[in-house]
Amino acid sequence: MKSSDYGLCWRNVRDERVEVVKMDESRGDEYFREQHMKLAADREHAMRDNTLIMEERKRIIADLEERQRQLEREQAAQREVAETIAKMESKLLGGTDLLDHTKQQEVELANRRRELAEQKKREREILQQLERQEDDTAEIHQTYSSLQQEVEAKTRKLRKLHLKLQKARNELHDSALVHSQERQDLESSVTEINKELKL
């Protein structure tokens, strides 16, 4: 085999290997994008679901954060493998295409890091919003408890006043009966005296 034919064959092998690496990375990137979108959707759903109690919401968010960390570890591992393969290809083949591809990967990696930083910022904002909601809920419960205690105290006082009023009415009624009897007795006495005077 001529040296030119050997070089052409070797370059074809290199190009095929580079194409395989690109396909694997493209599939991996698509998978991680889908997973990130799914985690963001789950987190948004957990935050908006008002039927969840605070403890359950915290547990779901903690699970989502653990899944996010696991996804980042897998993504980092994939980047390390891709970088290792790129370096090995560059050293073995000395092709300029792989060097350009490595530079492109570095740019994409920087973009992914910025995206992750923005996502973490959004997660912190969501957690802060949940904490504020929890504080507001606790304050509402405290206010409700205070109002309920005030209503119960006023109800007890109203009952006592009602009992006192009923007692006073009973005493007034009894007094009226006594006075009526005394008046009748007095009228009877006057009638008897008048009869005696006429005699």
Range of the domain at 49: 3-153
Query: Is residue 92 in a domain?
Result: yes
Minimal CA–CA distance to 95: which of 4, 3, 20, 13?
13
Query: Is residue 132 in a domain?
Result: yes
Give the rounded distance of the alpha carbon of 3 from its chain centre.
Answer: 67
The span from the CA of 83 to the CA of 89, in Å, is: 10
Number of folded domains in the chain?
A: 1
Query: Is residue 80 in a domain?
Result: yes
- Show pLDDT as tens, one digit a residue, over the chain (199 residues): 433 443 444 445 445 554 544 555 566 677 777 877 877 777 777 666 666 566 776 777 788 778 788 888 888 888 888 888 777 766 665 555 556 767 788 888 888 888 888 888 888 888 888 777 777 776 766 776 777 777 787 888 888 888 888 887 888 777 777 777 777 777 776 677 667 666 5
Question: Other C-beta atoms within 10 Å of 61: how many?
Answer: 18
